[in-house]
Structures are given as structure tokens and as C-alpha cells.
């Protein structure tokens, strides 16, 4: 059986593409954000692009482990996004992440339940289950930040 993977895949898809009970998801939110907004600093905090990239950096790391690669994620690099100087750059970055998220969800669906009880590359990281669920929770957390930053940008534009 692989009920755990099916449920985790569903949750990953919901935060990325919709259907969760909050009715907020990355694809919809990011689709409303222009590249100029994404790269604009907001009151001295991270910009939307940095948070978006950081969020999916860990989905890419999870994807790599599920495909048999070594865990190669480091917090110090998790904000080092590629340059975004146009609509095309912004769109390409988003499409890359949507593909990675969907591919990761498909792999999770095929993962046997017992795998989720195993150590995630190293005992110090806990189980596969803990890491997959943590990655999804991390996405929700940063999605909320992105929504707030986008609202702050919109409010600033209206007040000018």
C-alpha cells in the first residue's frame, strides 16, 4: 500500500495548485504577481522572488532524494535564485517549480508506506514522512508571507 504517499502528494498538489481548505495556493497567487513586483523590496524584508525561490528550493531537494540523489540542500544557498529581469524569466522560473512539484507528487504516490518510516538520508533528519510533511508545511508558511508582501506592495502603489 502507499496511502501515506497518496495523501502527502495530495497535500503537496493542493498547496501548489489548489484544492486545499484555505483556497490559497502558489499557482494562483504567483500568477497575479508581476516580475517587477516579485523583485521589488518590501520595507526592508525579503522580496517575493527570494521567498518563492527559497520555498521551492526544498521541494527540489526532496525531489532529488526521491530520485535517488544525495541530499544536497544548504540553507545558505536557499535564497540564491537565478536572475529575473523579464516576464519570460519569471514565467520560466515558475514553470520549473510547477513541473518539479508535480513530478515530486507523482513520486510520492508511488512510494510504499514503509519508506516513510525510514530515515531521510541520515538519522539526524528524521523520517521521510517528517521531511515531506515539513516541506509542505514550509510551503504553506512562505505562501502566507508572499500573500502579505503582495498586499503591502499593492497598498503602497495605491497610496502613491
pLDDT at 42: 84
**CA 52, 53, 54, 59: dihedral to nearest 10 degrees?**
100
Q: Which of 34, 6, 142 shows the shortest CA–CA distance to 94?
A: 34
Contacts of 134 (CB under 8 A, 6+ apart): none
pLDDT at 158: 59
pLDDT at 1: 67
pLDDT at 155: 86
Domain span at residue 112? 3-159
pLDDT at 16: 98
SS3 annotation, the chain: CCHHHHHHHHHHHHHHHCCCCCCCCHHHHHHCCCHHHHCCCECCECCHHHHHHHHHHHHHHHHHHHCCCCCCCCHHHCCCCCCCCCHHHHHHHHHHHHHHHHHHHHHHHHCCHHHHHCECCCHHHCEHHHHHHHHHHHHHHHHHHHHHHHHHHHHHHHHC
pLDDT at 111: 97
Kindly give the confidence (pLDDT) of every residue in the chain, 160 residues in length, as a single tens digit, with 9 standing for 90 and above: 689 999 999 999 999 999 988 899 999 999 999 999 999 988 778 899 999 999 999 999 999 999 999 998 999 999 999 999 999 999 999 999 999 999 999 999 999 999 999 999 999 999 999 999 999 999 999 999 999 999 999 887 755 4
Q: Is the pTM of this model over 0.85?
A: yes
Q: Which of 4, 11, 5, 18 shows the shortest CA–CA distance to 106?
A: 5
Number of folded domains that form the chain: 1
Which CATH number is 30's domain given?
1.20.120.450
Amino acid at each position: 500500500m502507499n496511502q501515506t504517499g497518496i495523501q502527502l502528494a495530495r497535500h503537496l498538489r493542493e498547496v501548489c495548485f489548489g484544492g486545499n481548505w484555505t483556497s490559497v495556493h502558489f499557482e494562483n497567487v504567483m500568477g497575479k504577481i508581476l516580475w517587477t513586483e516579485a523583485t521589488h523590496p518590501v520595507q526592508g524584508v525579503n522580496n517575493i522572488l527570494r521567498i518563492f525561490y527559497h520555498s521551492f528550493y526544498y521541494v527540489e531537494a526532496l525531489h532529488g532524494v526521491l530520485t535517488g540523489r544525495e541530499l544536497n540542500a544548504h540553507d545558505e544557498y536557499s535564497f540564491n535564485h537565478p536572475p529575473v529581469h523579464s516576464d519570460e524569466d519569471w514565467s520560466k522560473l515558475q514553470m520549473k517549480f510547477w513541473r518539479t512539484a508535480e513530478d515530486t507528487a507523482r513520486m510520492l504516490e508511488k512510494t510504499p508506506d514503509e519508506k516513510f518510516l525510514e530515515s531521510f538520508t541520515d538519522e539526524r533528519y528524521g523520517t521521510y514522512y517528517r521531511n515531506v510533511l515539513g516541506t509542505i508545511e514550509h510551503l504553506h508558511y512562505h505562501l502566507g508571507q508572499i500573500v502579505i508582501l503582495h498586499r503591502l506592495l499593492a497598498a503602497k502603489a495605491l497610496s502613491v
